[in-house]
């Protein structure tokens, strides 16, 4: 089992009367990109902070990079790179000054050479004297990644790192992440974007502190047990209301110029849709359930937060 970067079970964390994480278990292999999904308030950030040593679990057991998550949190913090949701470096320092300051905090020898290599590796050298506060979201993100990689961690914990970043910057960021994984670095990344979830090797989905589903993107789709049809044609807005009222229809979701109609029971769903499929103005096609379809369905099962 030494190929596991993270191996925890039964982790719990409460804040006063609120139980933020319930019996959390997770295994992440070395060199694996593991996506962490769930609604706001589902326990993603709390779980990440327990794994990287910033929060001590109330109970449970396991290891992160071979260190005990209860007793060896200081050692974990030295070996993990953690990128927070919001840009947390110093906006009145330049890119180079920020990285040199971080290198000093880690007590790194030959820090000028280390910073120079980091600037080159992440394409920051041409902007090294630019104030961090003047950077766009994509460049701030790249600087934050450089800062959490300075000490050459074997595990990256990225908490919604691409929120508010344009599509090209997000794509570039994910190219960097896959390059790091190819070098054997494990990555646990929380995201709300379904296209990013598809880029992960495996996924975990949390809701209100509990783990609902795990596996590869394909395994998660199959575990959702959804049958999905797409329909295009005129009057989709009024059609969606009629479809939602049908027996066997679990959800109806607009996707551009079509609707996705999904249900768990194939026979019941097809019987309900048969009259609508006979309408020549509507074009129907069978679809593979998307991750968004599956996650919305999972949330409908667990309901509102307690």
155/5 Cα distance (integer angstroms)? 7
Residue-wise pLDDT for 238-293, tens only, equals: 999 999 999 999 999 898 899 999 999 999 999 999 999 999 999 999 998 888 88
Q: Which of 3-7, 260-264, 294-298 has the lowest mean pLDDT?
A: 294-298
CA gap 115, 134 in Å, rounded: 20
For the chain, list the domains and their CATH numbers. Answer: 4-221 (3.40.50.300), 227-288 (3.30.70.330)
Give 172 or 100, the one with higher predicted confidence: 100
Which 3 state secondary structure label does DSSP give 32?
A: coil
Model-wide pTM > 0.85 = no
Q: Which residues sit opposite 190 in a β-bridge? A: 36, 159
Q: Rounded to an integer, what distance in angstroms lies between the CA atom of residue 14 and that of residue 44? A: 14
In the prediction, which pLDDT does 85 show? 77
DSSP, collapsed to helix, strand or coil, labels residue 278 as coil
Residue 113 neighbours by CB under 8 Å, 6+ apart: none
* Distance of alpha carbon 109 from the chain centroid: 33
């Amino acid at each position: 089992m030494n190929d596991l970067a993270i191996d925890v079970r039964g982790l719990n964390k409460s804040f006063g009367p609120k139980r933020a994480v319930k019996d959390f278990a997770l295994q992440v292999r070395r060199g694996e990109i593991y996506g962490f999904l769930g609604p706001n308030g589902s326990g993603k950030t709390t779980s990440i902070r327990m794994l990287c040593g910033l929060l001590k679990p109330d109970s449970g057991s396991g290891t992160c990079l071979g260190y005990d998550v209860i007793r060896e949190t200081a050692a974990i913090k030295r070996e993990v790179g953690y990128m927070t949701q919001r840009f947390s470096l110093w906006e009145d320092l330049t890119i180079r000054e920020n990285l040199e300051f971080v290198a000093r905090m880690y007590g790194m020898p030959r820090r000028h050479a280390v910073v120079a290599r980091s600037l080159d590796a992440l394409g920051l050298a041409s902007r090294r004297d630019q104030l961090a506060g003047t950077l766009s979201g994509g460049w701030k993100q790249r600087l934050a990644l450089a800062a959490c990689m300075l000490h050459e961690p074997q595990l990256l914990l990225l908490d919604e790192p691409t929120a508010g970043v344009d599509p090209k910057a997000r794509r570039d960021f994910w190219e960097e992440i896959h390059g790091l994984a190819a070098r054997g670095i494990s990555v646990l990344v929380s995201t709300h974007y379904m296209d990013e979830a598809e880029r992960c090797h495996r996924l975990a989905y949390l809701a209100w502190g509990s783990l609902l589903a795990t596996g590869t993107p394909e395994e998660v789709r199959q575990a959702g047990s959804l049958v999905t049809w797409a329909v295009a044609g005129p009057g989709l807005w009024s059609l969606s209301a009629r479809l939602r009222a049908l027996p066997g229809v679990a959800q109806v979701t607009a996707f551009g110029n079509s609707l996705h109609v999904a249900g768990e029971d194939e026979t019941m769903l097809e019987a309900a849709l048969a009259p609508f499929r006979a309408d020549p103005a509507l074009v129907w096609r069978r679809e593979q359930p998307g991750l968004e379809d599956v996650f919305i369905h999972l949330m409908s099962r667990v309901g509102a937060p307690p």
